[in-house]
Amino acid sequence: MAAITQSVALFGVTGELGRAFLDGLEEQAAFTGRLRLFASEKSIEETRLFRDKPYLIENPDGADFSDVSEAILALPADIADDLAPRLLAAGVRVWDATGHLKNLQQAVNIKAQSEHDLLLVCDDAMAIALLPLLQAITELTSIVAADATVLLPASLKGRQGVRELASQTGELLNGRGISPTVWPQQLSFNVLAADGSFERNGPTLSEKRLQQALQTLLPAMPVLSLRSYVVPVFYGATIDLRLSLADKVTRLALTTALKDVVGLQLHDRADFRGLPTPVGEGISDQVHVSRLLLEGSDVRLSVLCDPLRAGLVRSVLDSLLKCS
């Protein structure tokens, strides 16, 4: 069995994405290498537990990277822009988990990597999480139309988004007013019709990013018609996915194909209490599929996933294993 024996540096460990990577490395029994943790200056000298051992958080400014083989960047764009050249100059292979560095000349998509590439860039997290599901269906027959409604969690905006939802809820329950800062409007006890800026007659930036990523990863698939909303849950994105297929498929053929997908759990029992929810499965590296409805050549699915863990973390750690 392959093992990740390299020395790995994780940057941005105090954020939501960094925490997801730390959890993923801890759960990955194949990781036996050395680990170093980095974050912003305000977190220096804090510690994080990893396999019951405290690890000191380091400041990347002026740090020596000569003992680092792999660097995972879970950082804002401006910090990644400054840090990546230093790591690459030190011969470190860089895994850009948020896609900030995709326009650099040496950047290579993680799906097209070779052992000689030093800057690997991830696609949109949601697209990576949905890709195995969509690939399994296209192996049965082609998709001629695709439409989705996505309910996004507060963790979309990282640790700050989660904290603001918690703070808003507490303040409102105690009869006090709120002043949203991370979100443009109140999120607690509310639904936001957009997660950010959007064109007057077009998608939001995150909707467009998901559409483009799926077109790149699965060129035979039509453009996904998409509308997303932000809902007051902390973790876990829920997707109502509607597909029109070129040919009719049987329920047995479809469920068999989905059960064979690594990292996907199919909930196909008529048990209301057994349905996946953001509270139960919102933090998971598995993609949960339920409410499968098949009418002729039309398929409707309810998908629940943690885009960070089921998309970015799984993709990077699987690739690291292949490189070992």
State the pLDDT at residue 77.
84
- Confidence band for 98, pLDDT divided at 50, 70 and 90: confident
Of 133, 187, 117, which is closest to residue 155 (Cα–Cα)? 187
Tell whether the model's pLDDT for residue 229 goes beyond 90: yes
Asked whether residue 202 carries a pLDDT value surpassing 70, the answer given is: yes
Asked if residue 179 has pLDDT above 60, the reply is yes
pTM for this entry: 0.92
What average pLDDT score do residues 159-171 get?
96
> Is pLDDT at 1 greater than 70 in this prediction?
no
Cα 267 to Cα 25, 128, 270, 288, distances in angstroms: 27, 21, 9, 7
Between 98 and 287, the higher pLDDT residue: 287
Residue 153 has pLDDT above 70, yes or no: yes
Length of the chain: 324
String of DSSP letters for 188-206 = TT--BS-SS-B-TTS-BHH
- Judge whether residue 323 has pLDDT over 70: yes
CATH architecture of 127-153+191-309: 2-Layer Sandwich (3.30)
pLDDT in tens, 307-317: 999 999 999 99
Yes or no: say if 65 and 9 are a contact pair by the CB < 8 Å rule. Answer: yes
Greater model confidence, 77 or 50: 50
Task: Answer yes or no: is pLDDT of 199 > 80.
Answer: no
Where in the chain are all domains bearing CATH 3.30.360.10?
127-153+191-309
Question: What residue spans in the chain does CATH classification 3.40.50.720 cover?
Answer: 8-121
- CATH architecture type of domain 8-121: 3-Layer(aba) Sandwich (3.40)
Q: What is the pLDDT of residue 197?
A: 76
pLDDT digits (tens, 9 = 90+) for 264-307: 999 998 777 889 999 999 999 999 999 999 999 999 999 999 99
What pLDDT shows up at residue 260? 95
Mean pLDDT within 90-113: 91
pLDDT at position 115 is: 80
